[in-house]
Structure formats: C-alpha cells, structure tokens
Amino acid sequence: MKLASLLSLVLTAGAVTVLATATAAQAAPGVTPPGVSLTLGPGQSADIAKHVETAPVPPKPDIVFLADTTGSMTGPITDVRANAASVMGQIAAAQPQARFGVAEYKDFEDSAPFTVRQDITADQAAVQAGIDQWVAGGGGDLPEDNLNALFQLANGAVHFRDGGTRIVVVFGDAPSHDPSLGHGLADTVAALNAAHIRVVAVDVGGMNAGGQAEAITSGTGGVYLPDVPADQVSAAILAGVQAIQVKVAPVVFDCDGNLALTFDPASKTVDSGATADFTEHVTVAGGAAPGTYTCKVDFQVDGVSQGAAFIQTLSVTVLTIAINDVVVDENAGNATFTVSLSGPATSPVSVHYATADGTATAGADYTAGSGTVTFTPGQTSRPVTVPVVNDAVDELDESFTVNLSAPAGAAIADGTGLGTIVDADRNGTFSCTAQVLRVGPLSSPAANPANVPCADDSKVLAQLTLDSGLIKVESKTLDANAALTPDNLDAAPAAGDNGTAKAAVESVKITVGGVAPITIELGLIQATAKATCASGPGGLAPVLSGSSSIAYLKINGIAVTVGSAPLTVPLVVGSLKLNATTTTPTSVTQQAVVLDTLLTDVVISEARADIHGTAANPTGNPCRV
C-alpha cells in the first residue's frame, strides 16, 4: 500500500491535518436510512438497501505511539513531538473515547531496549509529556529491537481497555533483530493477535527489510506506510489510524416473531470512514395476523454497538382485507358489497368470496354467487354484487352473508359481510292523540282516541270549566288536533311521514281551595308530540319528539318565568310540573302542565304519539317495509 494512495498532507504552522480522500464528503457516521416502514402481506418479502457510514477512526481506540529512538531518528521524533497534539485532537474529535499511550525502543545493546513513557490515558497532556521524553541516541548496529517492544506491549506492558480498538503505531528506519531479546517474528505476531492489537507501521526508511514490517501489519490487520519523509511522520500516523479496517455486522434485536431479517453480506470489512453496504431482506411470517410489527437492527462495528445513530428501526404493517355490511330494500335489484384492502399493495392481492343463507334463502330472496376478488397494485377496494329478489310477501327483514376465504398477499380482518334485505311493504302505523284539559276523571274531548291508528281529527271548545270540589279549572279557547301525513300509508315509507298530536289552550285559571288557597294563572299553553320517519345510517327510522311551551305563569299573582324548559315548582298543596317529556322506545308523551296534589291531578295540554307494528311484523314500524 503506497502512502500517496492513503492521504494528502497539509502542514500549517506546525500543526498537521490529514484529509483522507475516501472520507472528504463523508456523511455523519450511522446507518441510512435509520427508519423504514413497509406494507406487506403474510408470507411476503422485501429488500432494503442499507448504507452504514463508519467513523474516520475505529471505535473506542487505544493507541500507543511506539518510536524508534536510536541515534538516526532525530528528524521523525521532532516531527511527531511537534504535531502530536494535533494528531490526538483529530482522533479524539472523531472518537471522543480515544485514549493514548507512549513507548520507545532501541537496540539490545542499549541500557533500556524498551521503555513505556506513559500508560494508556485520556490525559493528552500526559501523553505529550511522554513523547517529549523521547531522545534520539544509541543503537549499535542496523537492526533494532522493535519485535521485543511489540511483544512486550502485547503482554501487559500497557493496559488496554476491554471492548475497544487496540492499535500500536510504530515508526522507525530499521528492521528488528529476529529474534529480538528472545522473541521472533512469528511469536510476536501471535502475541499481538492474542491481545487483539493491530499494528500501523510508518517506515521512515529500511524498516521493512526482508518484508518484516509488512508481515507484522498484514498479520495483525494493520496498515503499512512506506517511504515516509521525516517531516511527515505525524501525518502518516494519523492516516494509518484512519486506514485501519473495521468489521461492520448487523445484529437483530427486539424483533417480533412474525418478522425474519437476513443480510447480504452477513458482515462487511471496510476502511475506517468508508461505507459498508448491505441488502436487508425482510420476510413476514405466512400466518401473520393483521397489525404492525417492529424490529431493530444494531449495525455494530468490530462487535461493539456504536449508539443510536447505528440502530435501524423497521416497522412492517401487514395488509388486511375486510368486507362491509349492506342494507338494501328488496326492490333495489342488487346488494353491492365493498371488499377493502387496508393499504395499496405492490403486487396483486386476492381473496375468494361466497354467499351463504341466513334468514334469507338463495333463489327466493337473493341469487347465490361465488368468485375471486383481485386487487391490482395500487387498488384498495373492489365490489361484489349480489342480485336481490323482490317479492310481494309482507315479512320481517331477512339477511344473508358474503364470506371471504383463501387470501393471498394479505390477512383477513373482517371476513363476513352481512347483507340485510328490507321488506318493501310498510310494516307498521302511527297512533296519535291530543287532549287539552283533564281534572281527575273529568276531561275535555280528545282528538283521535289513544292507541288507534292516527287519523286527522280536531276538537275545539271556546271555553270549559271543570270543578272537582276543592280544585276548579277555568279555560278558554281549547284546541286538540291529531294529524297523519300522508293521509294514506299505503305508499312506501318516505322521510317526513309522521303522526302528530297537538293540544293548545289560550288561558287557564286554577283555583285550589282549603286552608291556604292558591290561584294559578297560565297563558297560551301548547304541547306537541310527533313520530316522524327520518333518514339515518341504516335507512329510514322513526324519531320521537315532544315539546311544549307556556307563555306566562302567575302563582297567587306572582309571575314565574317558564318558557319551554322543564321546571318543577313546589307548592303547599303538591307540585307544579311544567314541560315534561316522557319517551319510550315506541312512544312520546308531552305534558305542558301537571298539577300534582293529594286530592287529584290536573293535566293541561297533553299530546301523545306512538308507533306500532303489524300482525305480520309485531316489532315493525311505519318507517320500514
């Protein structure tokens, strides 16, 4: 490997900057894309291209600067000493957990062939102080003792951390004795590998005699930098650290059992700062139920998690198929169901359908059918049409189902569509009655008797007095009215069909005798009760409503504000209840005024409306057929 292929060097004011050509436009370290959302069906698969940008320096590096400090090394030592702070700063900027150590070696004939000047530390000032202790001198012959130095570093001379990248950067201008103080080349490489140490060798000239330096770097997964000028050793050190290769491997975790992930390749080794590309293959289990499933992948570097930026989150939504319910009149011709796909698919999705009897019978009430619904890519809904048979029989509503089965490319969320056939003959009637005044057993005439079919009727009196002894009621202009719309219910039900009862009186005076007599005066009292056919989500349905109002009220000459809101006024003789609405599932009764006493009750302006079924359909109503 040539130095020119690794780096460009810029020396400015004694500080070294290494611009690695492979990472000049590098994105921030991490995985791209970090999040992926897919829509798949059970048994389907998808491929995702993943790109892992590695940091320009291997993760959590422990770097030992190992210098040949024999007499010929003054120039390289001077360069490293001057630029060490810049080198360490750039490494720490890329990897804040970086730590450094300092050592040197000479020849076995020197008094100290190997010396550790600073154990591995985060204190860069202490590292600089260790480097400053390097002094070129000694060295009795051409070979030196770098093999011994490397062997000692691999066997505890410094304290490397667990789980980091262990690097020894050695620079010199001569090969090593072999053996060196008893340690040969093979023994040294084996020791370095056992300690998981990679060697970066910066050859100032002659270090690779016999291929020794390259054997060490290639044997440890390191980097060999040849022919480095003395004034560029520090730049070469930084370039060599950046050129160390790292292994990127995806590790799957927190993964739902309905998802399976594989990667091609299973791992990839690249230079620090380079991009590791993978193809991620995602498969959904064939029996996966509808829902959203997640999985996480940690793209570890050299077996160590690099944090959130290197973690991918995968979310897979399993497509679902559903069919809706349909309500149609028996004279509608067809019941059209909608089969829906929960989202657009990228490949065809299909499902089988077939009708089945419920209370409706194939042939008599509808035409049986079966087939396959297919969604082309992008489609999310498809119709299924079932012909409906019209008949002249007054009957209850009937139903059948359309059932889904054998899905391909999606899961069934709702596989049963209920088809309701509504009878075309009106199966009920309205009743309505109105009465203006009732005092105990005494009463004014009622418009249309109660609990009989509603019919147009009116009872009008100019005035009426009812006296039960202690309670006397005097009234003027009484009007009770009942009305059916339309007058003939033979036609098909329509919105607005209704039975209405109204009771109104211009004025009423109630006198209650006794120890504490009470006079109650009321004006323009009216009540309305109405049963009306109205459109709703399921078709026409009866709506029961009641309302009443009282223009004025005086009790013993004192005015009381009433209006149309419910109100209860306590009295000495009982209570006065105003604007009361009583509703059941089939009736509504509106009473404008009720005087409730121990002696008797007085009711003013009462209206009532009901709905009733028929003999063929006792639970029916006049808004349905």
pLDDT tens readout for residues 539-584: 999 999 999 999 999 999 999 999 899 999 999 889 999 999 999 9
Interval 168-194 mean pLDDT? 96
Q: What pLDDT is recorded for position 393?
A: 65
- pLDDT band for 2, please (50, 70, 90 cuts): very low
Domain regions of the chain by residue span: 29-54+246-318, 61-243, 320-422, 428-613
Q: Using CA atoms, how far apart are residues 189 and 376, in angstroms rounded to an integer?
A: 62
Please say if the pLDDT value at position 156 is more than 70.
Answer: yes
Tokens describing residue 481: 């009215």
CATH class of residue range 29-54+246-318:
mainly beta
Interval 142-151 mean pLDDT? 94
pLDDT tens readout for residues 56-82: 999 999 999 999 999 999 999 999 999
Please say if the pLDDT value at position 91 is more than 50.
Answer: yes
Q: What pLDDT is recorded for position 12?
A: 32
Please say if the pLDDT value at position 16 is more than 50.
Answer: no
Q: What pLDDT is recorded for position 492?
A: 81
Q: What pLDDT is recorded for position 345?
A: 83
Q: Using CA atoms, how far apart are residues 32 and 45, in angstroms rounded to an integer?
A: 20
Cα–Cα separations (whole angstroms), residue 154 to 121, 145, 166, 194, 301: 17, 15, 10, 8, 22
Q: 437: part of which helix (H) or strand (E)?
A: strand 428-439
Please say whether the beta carbons of 594 and 435 come within 8 A. no
- pLDDT band for 14, please (50, 70, 90 cuts): very low
Q: Return mean pLDDT, the chain.
A: 91
Q: What pLDDT is recorded for position 397?
A: 82
pLDDT tens readout for residues 256-276: 999 999 999 999 999 988 999
- DSSP state letter for 297: E
- Report which of residues 154 and 395 the model is more confident about: 154
Q: What pLDDT is recorded for position 394?
A: 62
Please say if the pLDDT value at position 378 is more than 80.
Answer: yes
Q: What pLDDT is recorded for position 24?
A: 39
Q: What pLDDT is recorded for position 423?
A: 76
What phi and psi values does residue 610 have, to the nearest 5 degrees? -135, 165
- DSSP state letter for 137: -
Please say if the pLDDT value at position 19 is more than 80.
Answer: no
Q: Using CA atoms, how far apart are residues 130 and 413, in angstroms rounded to an integer?
A: 71
Give the residue from 193, 189, 194, 169 showing the smallest Cα distance to 178. Answer: 189
Residues 6+ apart with CB under 8 A from 579: 547, 548, 549, 550, 562, 563, 564, 565, 566, 567, 592
Please say if the pLDDT value at position 318 is more than 50.
Answer: yes
Q: What pLDDT is recorded for position 147?
A: 97
Q: What pLDDT is recorded for position 392?
A: 62
Percent of the residues in the chain that have a pLDDT greater than 70, as a whole number: 95
Interval 115-142 mean pLDDT? 94
- pLDDT band for 230, please (50, 70, 90 cuts): very high
Please say if the pLDDT value at position 17 is more than 60.
Answer: no
**CATH topology identical between 29-54+246-318 and 320-422:** yes
175: number of CA atoms within 13 Å, CB side? 15
Interval 342-369 mean pLDDT? 93
pLDDT tens readout for residues 412-461: 889 999 999 987 777 889 999 999 999 999 999 999 998 899 999 999 99
Please say whether the beta carbons of 345 and 44 come within 8 A. no
Percent of the residues in the chain that have a pLDDT greater than 90, as a whole number: 77
Tokens describing residue 151: 């062997």
Please say if the pLDDT value at position 22 is more than 80.
Answer: no
Q: 320-422 domain in CATH 2.60.40.1930?
A: no
Asked which of 194-203, 369-378, 405-414 is least confident by mean pLDDT, the reply is: 405-414
Q: How many helices (H) and strands (E) does the chain have?
A: 6, 39
Q: Which fold has domain 61-243?
A: Rossmann fold (3.40.50)
